[in-house]
Structure 1
Amino acid sequence: MMIRAREVGRLVELRHIPPPDVSELDEGAAASLIEFLDTIPNAVMCVDLRRATVLPPHLADRLVALMEGIRGHFERCADVMSPAQATAHMQIERISRASADPARRVFTDPHAAIRWLDEVLNPEERARLRIFLLGPGQVF
């Protein structure tokens, strides 16, 4: 399941909670996400995949198609993985490369993702990003 939120400005927060929902990776899901992103000029996404597990090949292929479909509909996207999930991390890296989107990067360190996204966020969006990735009250 993917939880999508927009709390502040143009920062789009996506949090993956396993197991994956096949309907979230179909063509309708891509169209829905594109429609949502198109309402936010220069959207910046942060995808929390720290609880992700390895996807079956048919779902991995669907995720590539979804990523290709939304390419160009956001300014930057950081996918944040857990270093403890090495196989899932390698799979997401492969999927990200296959989507050929220079505006998307995969991180295992949430602080590195924050630094990269901070370059294009305003102060209010930066504060919200820290809450999203690190939790309330965490200092970076």
Structure 2
Amino acid sequence: MNADAPMEVDESSAIQEIEITIKDISSITYIRLSNSIPKYASSNREEWSAKEEQEALRRSGEYTSVQSHDFKIETQLRKLKRLVLDRNLEVDRINKRRNQYDEIVKVQRTRKLEGRKIKQRRWEEAQSKQEFLDSLEMGKYKKD
């Protein structure tokens, strides 16, 4: 593995799990209540029998119960949305920190490489200067 190249991270499995969960939540369907009054009861409420009145009252209670469930679901969905928002804010913060860290490491590596190049160039210049001085001392250097 090259030390200068960024490490490849496979995050596809985590992303797929999140997408599946979100799809499951967004696919919630509500079944509507049918027949708020008894189906074969008269349209005039005064003509209803005691049994039909009792059934209408029971259906009214069921409607209230379903409304209570809807309210609980709505409350939980609000909590869930808040949790998702908090999660997304946390992920955003983490990603910014990671990007900042990666940028710092990139700059440090660039500076280190540039420093090595400068040292190498200085060393080569010193070597060529030393060779030139050695050749002058030995009289091998001839002026044209």
TM-score range, shorter chain: under 0.3
Provide the TM-score with structure 2 as the length reference: 0.21
- Which structure carries more helix by proportion? 2
- Which structure carries more strand by proportion? 1
Which has the bigger relative contact order, CA under 8 A and spacing at least 6? 1
Kindly name which structure, 1 or 2, has the bigger radius of gyration based on alpha carbons.
Answer: 2
